[in-house]
Every structure is written in structure tokens, then in C-alpha cells.
Amino acid sequence: MDAQLRFEITHQSIDRTDTFRPVSDSKNYLRAHFDFLTDDWVGSVTAIFTKNELSYSMLLDENGECLVPWEVLRSAGSLFVSCYCANNNLITTNSAKVYIWESGYVQDGENTQPPTPNIYEQVIASFDSFKSEMREEYKTLDGGSFKDWETEE
């Protein structure tokens, strides 16, 4: 079994479908997968992970997946997961409750882990990746390299 929370979304209803028991204190390990059973979820979808009144937004990839932010896994307790899609309309779901179990991990010193990228940092990283891919693609065009075109006046 993968370390993955699984959800099904029908219109505005989200239901958890896995039996995985997530444990606190994990980082860059637990993923969430979302299956969209109705065709009204077209466009960019964002998952929201809320715990102790703090929310973290994560863009879903083309497979309907994202990493669960480590901040919501720092301690045991209830985590709430929902989604929204903002295209021409705004579509939202209710929240699905996920219990995070207490781990036996003890860390000495201060927590020095970098924070999970916010939604804007994720969009910029996605754009930078696309820009880099386009540079590589333009290198193969006849008539010079991308660098030649970039510096031409």
C-alpha cells in the first residue's frame, strides 16, 4: 500500500476512500490523490489542508495528486481536506476528516525545515519549469539557437 490519502469527488462532495493511517512528524512522504467522478471539475484544482485553524493550499498535478504539507503532519489530531476549482466559476467541496496518529519521533533542537511552498510559489515554479522547457525546445529550431534569437535586436 502506498503512503497516500485517496479521495473521490462527486460535484461538491468529497469522500475519503483509503484506509491508510497517517502518522505525525513525516515530511515529503505522504501524498494525496483525488479522483473526480463528475466532469464539472475542469481546469486547475487546488487542495486545501486545514489543521488547527491553519490552511495550506496545494496545486494538484495532472494526475490529481499533491504532496501533503508537512505543517499539517507536525502533531496528532484531526486534519480536514477540501478542494476548489477556479475556472470561469468557483467550485468548492465540503471537508473530509483525516485523523493523524501520534508518532514516536523525537527531534533535538529547533525545527529548521523550510516551509511548504505557498500557492504563489508553486505557480511561479511551474512557470519557470515551462519557460526552461520552451528554451530547450527552441534550441532545435532552424535559424539559430534560442540564445541567438534572444539577443537579436
- Residues 43 and 98 placed together within one structural domain of the fold: yes
> Shortest CA distance to 85 belongs to which of 143, 46, 36, 38?
46
Beta-bridge partners for 101: 23
Residues of the domain holding 54: 1-105
One domain for residues 95 and 134: no
> Domain check: are 43 and 76 in the same one?
yes
Place of cell 534572444: 150
Burial category of 24 from C-beta neighbours within 10 Å (exposed 0-12, middle 13-18, buried 19 and up): middle
| Domain assignment of residue 112, yes or no | no
Residue 1 is assigned to a structural domain of this protein: yes
Residue 11 sits in a domain whose CATH number is 2.60.40.10
Element (H, E) at 148: helix 146-151
Question: What is the rounded end-to-end Cα distance, in angstroms, of the chain?
Answer: 57
Task: Please state the pTM of the whole predicted model.
Answer: 0.72
pLDDT tens series, the chain, 153 aa: 589 999 999 999 999 999 999 999 999 999 999 999 999 999 899 999 999 999 999 999 999 999 999 999 999 999 999 999 988 889 999 999 999 999 988 766 566 677 888 988 888 888 888 787 777 766 655 555 556 556 655
